[in-house]
Amino acid sequence: MNDTLKITFLGTGTSQGIPIIGSKHPVCLSNDPKDKRLRVSVLLSWDTYNFTIDCGPDFRQQMLTHNVSKLDGILFTHEHSDHTAGIDDIRPFFFRQGDIPIYARKRVVKALKRRFDYIFNKKERYPGAPAVTVNIVKKNRSFELGGMTVTPIQALHNRLKIFGYRIGDFTYLTDVKSMEKKEMDKIIGSKVLVVNALRIEAHQSHFNLEEAMDFVNKVKPEKAYFTHISHLLGFHAEVEKDLPENVHLAYDNLTIEL
């Protein structure tokens, strides 16, 4: 088994993406490709496996960009649209592979069933609709994916309980505003941490840049990458040059290996 974990940032933007439709903000008008951000998601690849964390409204475009022809499952952080709205675009994978496994807490599955009932309705299958195999993720319960151990990390997105995931030496978090110490302890020892840094000013449900840096300093990974970035954080190049040597802004299509 090849246990090298390849992480591809499919999208690193906040819920509206960058550029925002109709915006004249300088970052939205930037010609730097690193300032153009699709909705947030990562592709995790090892051995023969491909998993994504979340599938937002840019999912189809992201799969085409990276020539992904096989999908072994989707891990959901929470039910908000920028993390789930692309689920219908699993259809090509379903047609080739059959039911696509999804991993989420029970509340998130209920929300998906309400919004995408035709995907979950096995009794009255609509021709052409995809189907999924549901796996419920629970706090304090690790599980196996393709020989890798996945540990859910619970955080609060304002008051909403959400999951990040640790896979080996890699931890992925997004939409975090606060976290209990016992959950933070599960991250300690990660070589690479990905965490959200929305903007400079404080926000009610996301880390801003200062809070994200404080979180990194507490967890102490070897390297950290910020994601779920809005235009209000500033130009990629300007923010990046002011970060510590082991901390970076992620950008769409960045690939790292562990």
Supply the pLDDT for residue 127: 83
**Coil, helix or strand for 7?**
strand
Q: How many angstroms separate the Cα of 193 from the Cα of each of 1, 91, 203, 227?
A: 24, 31, 21, 10
- Tell me the two tokens of residue 143: 């599980």
For residue 113, what pLDDT is reported?
Answer: 97
What is d(CA 187, CA 220) in angstroms, rounded to the nearest whole number? 9
Q: What stretches in the chain show pLDDT beneath 70?
A: 1-2
Query: What pLDDT shows up at residue 243?
Result: 98
Note whether 234 and 256 are within 8 A (CB): no
pLDDT of residue 17: 98
* 3-state DSSP of 127-153: CCCCCEEEEECCCCCCEEECCEEEEEE
Domain-wise residue ranges, the chain:
6-250
The model carries a pTM of: 0.97
Q: Give yes or no for a contact between 12 and 37, defined as CB atoms under 8 angstroms apart.
A: yes
Separation in Å, CA 171 to CA 55, 124, 154, 221: 18, 39, 12, 9
* Contact status, residue 247 vs residue 224, Cβ threshold 8 Å: yes
What is 15-48 written as a DSSP string? TT-BSPTT---TTTT---GGG-BPBPEEEEEETT
CB proximity list for 33: less than 8 A, separation 6 or greater: 251, 252
Give the burial string for 211-237 (b: 16+ CB within 10 Å, else e): bbbebbeebebebbbbbbbbbebbbbe
Quote the pLDDT of residue 2. 63
CATH code reported for the domain at 6-250? 3.60.15.10
What per-residue confidence (pLDDT) applies to 124? 79
Per-residue pLDDT tens over the stretch 207-218: 999 999 999 999
